[in-house]
Structure 1
Amino acid sequence: MSDEYTVVDPDEIEPDQFPESGLNHRKLTEALGATEMRVNVIRLSPGDVTGYHRHERQEEVFVLLSGPGRARIGGDLVDVPKWGVVRVPSETPRQLLNDAEEGEAVWLMLGAPTVGTVEDYGEYVVVDEE
């Protein structure tokens, strides 16, 4: 087996809680051995909303893998189709939400560069609601 790649099943990673929302997500960065980006997966049940936040020096890409998806970006509420990809620059506030009445939304979240530590979510800054 080559040491040049890693395959991870997100369901085998112990869930961790976002500090402000208490929602579970799975940090895949360490398990993947990623050094140039952060990688997380989050499953949002109906009514779940991540914290409205930004990163000081880290842009993020969100990929909606399944379910109903919406993102709040810089105050705009954006519908995201399944397999839709959203890029958000570092200083722009963002939030993922599932405001549908049924169905789980599963998001893959990628952030680069890897600023801060895995524990501090890459210079995560909570933003007051707009």
Structure 2
Amino acid sequence: MGYRVVSADDLEPEPDRPCTLRRLAPSAGLEHVAVNRFDAEPGEQLPLAYHYHDEQEEAFYVLSGTLHVETPERTFVVPAGDLFAVEPGNPQRAYNPEDADEAVEVLAIGAPPVRDDVHAYDPDGEP
């Protein structure tokens, strides 16, 4: 693999996302972990839907702003400088609430980077 420096600002955002998503891992040559940068304005969520993974562990490190994460039990409020971790099988929806005063910037890490591992979760029904 060698060494690489990747500037998130130089990467094109993914199209058709609820917020700005830049995938860092492919440009860094990383194959065993997903690394993404999310920038969400007030009222935007990070994932496409409330979801869970079969195998992938996820970690959200808040670079700036405050991230909110809805789970079946409660909503977590994660300030800048803190990390929110999710084990496989646990539903969550990360977002920046509409009444937020600022954008939230998040570095998201997931491993392994399994394809077709994500499932929508209906908080009013069964997964």
The TM-score, its normalising length taken from structure 2, stands at 0.85
Cα drift, residue 86 of structure 1: 1.1
User: Which residue in 1 is equivalent to 2:112?
Assistant: 113
User: 2:65 and 2:30 mapped to 1: Cα distance?
Assistant: 27
Gaps of 5+ in 1: 117-121
User: Which residue in 1 is equivalent to 2:88?
Assistant: 90
Change (3 A) 1:75 1:52: farther
Cα drift, residue 71 of structure 1: 1.2
Change (3 A) 1:101 1:87: closer
Indicate yes or no: 2:32 matched with 1:33.
no
Change (3 A) 1:24 1:105: same
Moved over 6 A (4+): none
Q: Secondary structure at the match of 2:6?
A: coil
Q: In structure 2, what residue type is equivalent to 1:54?
A: Y
Q: Secondary structure at the match of 2:9?
A: helix
Question: What is the root-mean-square deviation of aligned Cα atoms in Å?
Answer: 1.7
User: Which residue in 2 is equivalent to 1:78?
Assistant: 76
User: 1:102 and 1:113 mapped to 2: Cα distance?
Assistant: 34
Gaps of 5+ in 2: none
Q: In structure 1, what residue type is equivalent to 2:121?
A: V
Cα drift, residue 4 of structure 1: 2.4
Q: Number of residues paired by the alignment?
A: 121
Structural mapping, 1:49-68, within 5 Å: 49-50=45-46, 51-68=49-66
Q: Secondary structure at the match of 2:5?
A: coil
Give the % identical residues: 28
User: Which residue in 1 is equivalent to 2:101?
Assistant: 102
User: 1:75 and 1:46 mapped to 2: Cα distance?
Assistant: 23
The TM-score, its normalising length taken from structure 1, stands at 0.83
User: 1:86 and 1:59 mapped to 2: Cα distance?
Assistant: 11
